[in-house]
Structure 1
Amino acid sequence: MASERDVRARLQRAGQEHLLRFCAELAPGPRAALLAELGALEPEALSEHCRRAAAACAHPPGPPPDLAARLRPLPPECVGSASRCDPEMRRLWEEEGFRQIALNKVAVLLLAGGQGTRLGVTYPKGMYQVGLPSQKTLYQLQAERIQRVEQLAGQRHGTRCTIPWYIMTSEFTLGPTARFFKERDFFHLDPDNVILFEQRMLPAVTFDGRAILEQKDKVAMAPDGNGGLYCALSDHQILEDMGRRGVEFVHVYCVDNILVRLADPVFIGFCVLRGADCGAKVVEKADPEEPVGVVCQVDGVPQVVEYSEISPETAQLRRPDGSLLYSLGNICNHFFTRDFLQMVSSKFEPLLKPHVAVKKVPYVDEEGNPVKPIKPNGIKMEKFVFDVFQFAKSFVAFEVSREEEFSPLKNAASAARDNPATTRRALLMQHYRWALQAGAHFLDACGARLPELPSLPSSREPPAICEISPLVSYSGEGLEEYLQGREFRSPLILDENQARALQP
């Protein structure tokens, strides 16, 4: 371990010697921990990080003045749709996706490094229960979808197949996530196929470029954003592991979408048959002001432009048919070839520009007293996973139904949107629709049939509670066997046991 003298000299070179100002007061254990943390920071990289953070924060917020002239929608030939395509073409995409899964060429990669701060919890967001009748967490729903799609691919092709599940965590989420999976027996997945790895951490920085001391013996650190994936792949030899397993295609997604379809065969097959090295699932924006990034082109290359970077005038632009010109909302749901990830990690990652996130960062004052700021006081620098679209040789976007595939859990119950209630409602409404489509009928408390509504928005409560286990149905398939022509009272919890009981 580096000595205090060595660490002090390194910090002097970086212009960050203030991080040791309480070192003499610390007991041996905390002092050793602080020196180890600081000794791992390269002086030149630390200096550049702090300089770039301050410089980036100094830029005025809002749209770049010339962006509107550089912005274009994606060309139609780069965009597919799950709902507006020929049914036969959709069948071909799905069959190709299942074929690649059956050949063990598909992996899923979960971005789970963020904390549940906005949600109001101290544990990783994947461990959260939104209040489903089954009390399943996000992690459990996702694990069961992996098992079901493996089963479906195996049945189609007469083989046993495996979809490895890579989970990128952070210093904050690695330990709790590992314990959670172990305590629940990995939700019956093979532990060898659930690979946890950790992204890098970066110091939070004041507006004038000084790294923040959170405690006398600890620097305020934050994950380097979901774009930290590309360094983490190299740090932990993840791509080499994928290569040994024969993985060629990777579905990357974010932990908080309760409706996410892991290793979606339709999406995988669409991207593979289009010869794409990089792809993004998108949903149509609900309105011009919806706070989601837009998948489009800037200077002729694919990119996600954040909603805060697009002027209101540009966001309002419409096509002749009345639809939004910039309508493809990014949902952090991506396809990559392993070769593309290898190229990004080894060649292009240093070209990614960090984004500024202004935050309230706890710190110690000059007397060593802990302070919880009431307004933003620091900068966290993040890279975004989608910033690599610009390097793709063949990029595609794939539009899917919001009601079927996108309901993110981002906020606490007090928020108006993207909260536990809205995500729970979205999943239960989806399952109610599936049940109706499979021929089920629901009864009210008096035994009368509830009216069958052909189209139900996910923004309202379903007329009856229906939860269908992912182990029974991945995307609504196969439910007629259990539900067709039958009557049910609310709630209907269709798990594996109930499905066996309902089999003719």
Structure 2
Amino acid sequence: MPSNISIEGSKILRVPKTMDVEALKQRLNGAGQGHLLQFWDSLSSEEQTAFFNELSHMNFEEINGFFETAMQSLKHVADKIDDLLEPLPADVCGSVTRTDHQKQQEYTATGLQAIGSSSVAVLLLAGGQGTRLGVGYPKGMYNVDLPSAKTLYQLQAERILKVQENAKEHTGKSCEVPWYIMTSEHTKEPTRQFFASHNYFGLKESNVVLFEQNLLPCIGFDGKIFLANPHKVALAPDGNGGLYRALRSSIVLADMERRGIQYVHVYCVDNILVKMADPLFLGFCINKGANCGAKVVEKGFPTEAVGVVCKVEGKYQVVEYSEITLPTAEKRNSDGRLTFNAGNICNHFFTMDFLKMVSDPSQESQLKHHVAKKKIPHVNAAGEQMKPNEPNGIKMEKFVFDVFHFTTTFAVWEVLREEEFSPLKNADGAAKDTPTTCRSDLYNLHRSWLQRAGATFTHNDGSPIPPIASSNSSNAGAGDSQRTCEEFNEIVCEVSPLVSYGGEGLDTIVHGKSFLPPVCMERDGAGKVKVTNGTS
């Protein structure tokens, strides 16, 4: 390997043989960023070397261009785009509640066939540090206090193991679903150590591939890049839409091609109910001939703070709730459903060809940065650490769904929120998306699985607990929903992903049986299912 090449994780970096500080100063001055070297003479030789290498790898002309475009977008942040919106065409849409059982089985069989041929990968967006949760480690390592004490990472790893098992049973072929995990600078090493210390939760180490998203400088409203300290630029991750640039600058695309991957399922780490490589979703998208797809949930109410998948000037897009007016948000179809009702849950399908296309510089460079005004800590000209009380600059990021506008063969699959979407965003005490709500949603889902498989639940005195109402039930009234929800908040029920991926296979275990909560279902090392309930 040449002396000016080094490998950092999955990235290949070119390290200058010598430090030409004068040339760097000229480049910075030409870009209007000369202030970044204002503390150079006070730095140690080690700090100078590290800082020189950091600055040498930055394209300041490109960064300045990002800033100019970002500031222009801020001028239009209050603009509404109602007149440009179009509902999703009916022929690209499908729904778990409006698709008959036989068709769902056909989609699932198609998905299992693809998984069974080892042509499916899952790609996890896991750059978040859990700041809003109040923890100092990657969100995937979080345990919401289930009886099993499983973390988000473990739940997801075990779902991959189970879907591989289901695909083998369907096809008769052993298969592998590689798991690509995009981390950030701050989460990569803790994530690597976590997986290694848990023996990759039963997955092959070679099938868990970590790679790192890129960072962008934080910039003041005057266009000047902030310094985090005298020898380091203030940086922030470039958003989950940085995936496409990260794929290009890492080994991931090449690794996918080497494995023969044809389809990629992309999702966010914080959804405790996520179904990785969901055969039904995969099969639907494949059946549609789509090169890009999105899983959505129906908006709960017009003003729900969730992005909506729709069309804008003929192109597919996710429109934020703040970009449309209330009258547009409240529009309804003749069946009473909201016209713009497809709530985005960051759960996507891509063909390999599409992923390669959007990761190409000619396409990725067309993705616009979303801009957020932030309170950015930095050092001032006197070298003092500043923690502003008001926004003093911007952070720029791209979103993973920004590539939707490149597709002409799109597919949208609507799922039930209570079955597939419960994000972990906030610490307990917040109104929603907390460890408590995630835990409760998982319990409710698993209880519904056992109910459908023919099980019943009882109170301590032996009296039956009424079954929870399903969103699919046409005779479940509003009063019933409130009552059964209150009843079921008392019940703890956890089914290991190793026992069931989506509720299948439970009837032979639980049909006709009664259970006293808490109920926990796990599989032992020999593959035998063990059920504990009550005090047993």
Q: Which residue of 2 aligns with 1:411?
A: 426
Counterpart of 2:202 (choices 188, 194, 198) is 188
Q: Please give the residue correspondences for 1:111-130 in structure 2 after superposition, counting only pairs within 5 Å.
A: 111-130=125-144
Structure 1 residues 243 and 123, CA gap change in structure 2 (3 angstroms): same
Q: In the aligned structure 2, how far is the partner of 1:500 from the partner of 1:282?
A: 33
Q: Following TM superposition, by how much is the alpha carbon of 1:499 offset from its aligned partner in structure 2, in angstroms?
A: 5.4
Q: Following TM superposition, by how much is the alpha carbon of 1:451 offset from its aligned partner in structure 2, in angstroms?
A: 2.5
Is 1:383 the equivalent of 2:394? no
Cα deviations by residue, 1:343-391 (Å, 9 ceiling, x for unpaired): 1112411111111022222111222121222232221111111111111
Give the letter for the 2:313 counterpart: D
Give the letter for the 2:393 counterpart: G
Q: Which residue of 2 aligns with 1:500?
A: 529
Structure 1 residues 360 and 413, CA gap change in structure 2 (3 angstroms): farther
Q: Does the residue aligned with 1:351 lie in a helix, a strand or coil?
A: coil
Q: Which residue of 1 aligns with 2:343?
A: 329
Q: In the aligned structure 1, how far is the partner of 2:343 from the partner of 2:70?
A: 28
Cα deviations by residue, 1:247-287 (Å, 9 ceiling, x for unpaired): 10000001111110000000000000110000000100011
Counterpart of 1:311 (choices 321, 325, 328) is 325
Is 1:215 the equivalent of 2:229? yes
Cα deviations by residue, 1:110-156 (Å, 9 ceiling, x for unpaired): 01122212222221111111111111111111000000000000011
Counterpart of 2:211 (choices 197, 220, 231) is 197
Cα deviations by residue, 1:382-415 (Å, 9 ceiling, x for unpaired): 1111111111120111100001000111122232
Q: Which residue of 2 aligns with 1:16?
A: 33
Q: Which residue of 2 aligns with 1:471?
A: 498
**Contact map agreement 2:66 2:369 (CA 8 A) in 1:** no
Q: Does the residue aligned with 2:464 lie in a helix, a strand or coil?
A: coil
**Uncovered stretches (5+) of structure 1, i.e. residues with no partner:** none
Q: Following TM superposition, by how much is the alpha carbon of 1:164 offset from its aligned partner in structure 2, in angstroms?
A: 0.6
Structure 1 residues 435 and 276, CA gap change in structure 2 (3 angstroms): same
Give the letter for the 2:445 counterpart: Q
Q: Which residue of 1 aligns with 2:363?
A: 348
Q: Following TM superposition, by how much is the alpha carbon of 1:318 offset from its aligned partner in structure 2, in angstroms?
A: 1.0
Q: Which residue of 1 aligns with 2:295?
A: 281
Q: Which residue of 1 aligns with 2:89?
A: 75
Is 1:62 the equivalent of 2:78? yes
**Contact map agreement 1:472 1:499 (CA 8 A) in 2:** no
Give the letter for the 1:500 counterpart: V
Q: In the aligned structure 2, how far is the partner of 1:14 from the partner of 1:442?
A: 68
Q: Please give the residue correspondences for 1:13-412 in structure 2 after superposition, counting only pairs within 5 Å.
A: 13-57=30-74, 59-64=75-80, 67-346=81-360, 347-412=362-427
Q: Following TM superposition, by how much is the alpha carbon of 1:103 offset from its aligned partner in structure 2, in angstroms?
A: 0.7
Q: Following TM superposition, by how much is the alpha carbon of 1:34 offset from its aligned partner in structure 2, in angstroms?
A: 1.7
Quote the sequence identity (%).
50
**Contact map agreement 1:231 1:349 (CA 8 A) in 2:** yes
Give the letter for the 1:432 counterpart: R
Give the letter for the 1:274 counterpart: K
**Contact map agreement 2:521 2:531 (CA 8 A) in 1:** no
Q: Following TM superposition, by how much is the alpha carbon of 1:6 offset from its aligned partner in structure 2, in angstroms?
A: 2.7
How many residues of Structure 1 are paired with residues of Structure 2 in the alignment?
A: 500
Q: Following TM superposition, by how much is the alpha carbon of 1:193 offset from its aligned partner in structure 2, in angstroms?
A: 0.6
**Contact map agreement 1:425 1:459 (CA 8 A) in 2:** no
Give the letter for the 2:77 counterpart: P
Q: Which residue of 2 aligns with 1:435?
A: 450
Give the letter for the 1:141 counterpart: L
Q: In the aligned structure 2, how far is the partner of 1:130 from the partner of 1:29?
A: 42
Q: Please give the residue correspondences for 1:478-493 in structure 2 after superposition, counting only pairs within 5 Å.
A: 478-493=505-520
What is the TM-score normalised by the length of structure 1?
0.96
Q: In the aligned structure 2, how far is the partner of 1:8 from the partner of 1:54?
A: 26
Greater shift in the superposed pair: 327-336 or 454-463: 454-463
Q: Following TM superposition, by how much is the alpha carbon of 1:502 offset from its aligned partner in structure 2, in angstroms?
A: 5.7
**Contact map agreement 1:295 1:302 (CA 8 A) in 2:** yes
Q: In the aligned structure 2, how far is the partner of 1:479 from the partner of 1:117?
A: 38
Q: Does the residue aligned with 2:265 lie in a helix, a strand or coil?
A: strand
Q: In the aligned structure 2, how far is the partner of 1:217 from the partner of 1:415?
A: 38
What is the TM-score normalised by the length of structure 2?
0.90
Cα deviations by residue, 1:290-339 (Å, 9 ceiling, x for unpaired): 11110001111211111111111211111122211100001100000000
Give the letter for the 2:504 counterpart: E
Q: In the aligned structure 2, how far is the partner of 1:499 from the partner of 1:313?
A: 55
Q: Following TM superposition, by how much is the alpha carbon of 1:501 offset from its aligned partner in structure 2, in angstroms?
A: 4.2
Structure 1 residues 51 and 300, CA gap change in structure 2 (3 angstroms): closer
Q: In the aligned structure 2, how far is the partner of 1:181 from the partner of 1:345?
A: 28
Q: In the aligned structure 2, how far is the partner of 1:54 from the partner of 1:305?
A: 20
Structure 1 residues 459 and 370, CA gap change in structure 2 (3 angstroms): farther
Q: Following TM superposition, by how much is the alpha carbon of 1:19 offset from its aligned partner in structure 2, in angstroms?
A: 1.4
Q: In the aligned structure 2, how far is the partner of 1:421 from the partner of 1:309?
A: 31
Q: Following TM superposition, by how much is the alpha carbon of 1:485 offset from its aligned partner in structure 2, in angstroms?
A: 1.6
Give the letter for the 1:395 counterpart: F
Give the letter for the 2:310 counterpart: C
Give the letter for the 1:391 counterpart: F
Q: Which residue of 2 aligns with 1:454?
A: 469
Give the letter for the 2:21 counterpart: E
Cα deviations by residue, 1:206-229 (Å, 9 ceiling, x for unpaired): 112111111122111111111111
Structure 1 residues 501 and 343, CA gap change in structure 2 (3 angstroms): closer
Q: Does the residue aligned with 2:25 lie in a helix, a strand or coil?
A: helix
Q: In the aligned structure 1, how far is the partner of 2:73 from the partner of 2:408?
A: 29
Q: Following TM superposition, by how much is the alpha carbon of 1:88 offset from its aligned partner in structure 2, in angstroms?
A: 1.1
**Contact map agreement 2:468 2:485 (CA 8 A) in 1:** no
Greater shift in the superposed pair: 43-52 or 110-119: 43-52
Greater shift in the superposed pair: 462-471 or 362-371: 362-371
Q: Does the residue aligned with 1:398 lie in a helix, a strand or coil?
A: strand
Q: In the aligned structure 2, how far is the partner of 1:501 from the partner of 1:225?
A: 42
**Contact map agreement 2:291 2:351 (CA 8 A) in 1:** yes
